[in-house]
Amino acid sequence: MTASLTLRPLVQVGAVTTADDLPLAGGPLRFHQCEAVVREGIRERARAVVGAVQAVAWAEEFGLASDAKDLLHRLSTPRPPFASLDLGQPQVMGVINVTPDSFSDGGDRFDPARAIADGLAMHEAGASILDVGGESTRPGAAPVPPKEELHRVVPVVEGLAKAGALVSIDSRRAAVMAAALDVGARIINDVTALAGDPESLALAARREAPVILMHMQGEPRTMQREPHYDDAPLDVYDVLAVRVAACEAAGIPRARIAIDPGIGFGKTVVHNLRILDQLAVFHGLGCAVVLGVSRKSFIGRLTGAQAAKARLPGSLAGALAGVARGAQVIRAHDVAETRQAMTIWTAIAEG
């Protein structure tokens, strides 16, 4: 079995100051050490903390020097704009669920006029992207008929786009993606990483739409039934690497791809925490990194905050932990609060 290498930057806040420092993806973070891991399939062969500039020599022992060079290049190269957004500063994606049953705000914006008004308020509060979804993907959720999903999302996407907002369509169906793009959506956000519908890859390539590939183990109805990983961050990384390669093969370049490790989607509390802690490893894929922790159930399990809307403090803590590890887009229900917290964090980081 072929060996594979991952490099996880041990991130520090602040600009590059020495020859041993490398910038992390062009943002306000740097690293001069990384955790190097060599695996054959799921079997770990070696793991060590090495200096970033020594990583190539360390990997050469396993015949992976070229891989190390590629990874260091991807880790340290500034990301191009994603859907015209500057990724040198963290961005906020506002969540607009046009559903009666989403886990945190089901029914709040089921009326299209309310959804559009709230979306525009999020835009004014600092959301760079408005993410419109018409199907709940909470644990245990049943699929929504395509016609119903279209009925829910199309008028909202159209209204927000006409008002000048940058809109993403949160769907796993190519027909819904296409209809949303037709009325002004510019980004596709898919919880199946464009694997759930055989038409979605070709559609995204043909329409030249930026895409967000999210990781999910299983599907919403079953994903929380004893999810298992040998090493959660690296297993998720491997799955997303396959999906990025599939996108490239279909004609979607990495500059138009963002990845999302899918916190809460087929993962336990421990899995979520390990992925959050090791989030910087995903920059080895050479794509923008999106993170959604807002109001997730792991916050409730850790803090006792059972009501989703009572999890704002935990959501902000998770968002800032993600930004400190290189997340470039934070998906949030509470936009104004998230934007304010990130503004202060960034100001301190750039001190």
Instruction: Render pLDDT for 171-201 as a digit per residue (tens, 0 to 9).
Output: 999 999 999 999 999 999 999 999 999 999 9
State the pLDDT at residue 111.
87
Contacts of 327 (CB under 8 A, 6+ apart): 90, 279, 289, 290, 291, 319
296 catalytic? Reply is yes
Q: Would you state the pLDDT for residue 290?
A: 98
Catalytic pick among 138, 296, 311, 339: 296
Residue with tokens 């990483």: 193
- Residue 96's pLDDT is 95
> Which among 39, 295, 331, 339 is annotated as catalytic?
331
- What pLDDT does 321 receive? 97
- Assign domain 91-350 to its CATH superfamily: Dihydropteroate synthase-like (3.20.20.20)
Residues of the chain with pLDDT under 70: 101-108
The verdict on whether 331 is a catalytic residue reads yes
Name the average pLDDT for the chain.
Answer: 94
Q: Within the chain, which residue ranges are assigned CATH 3.20.20.20?
A: 91-350
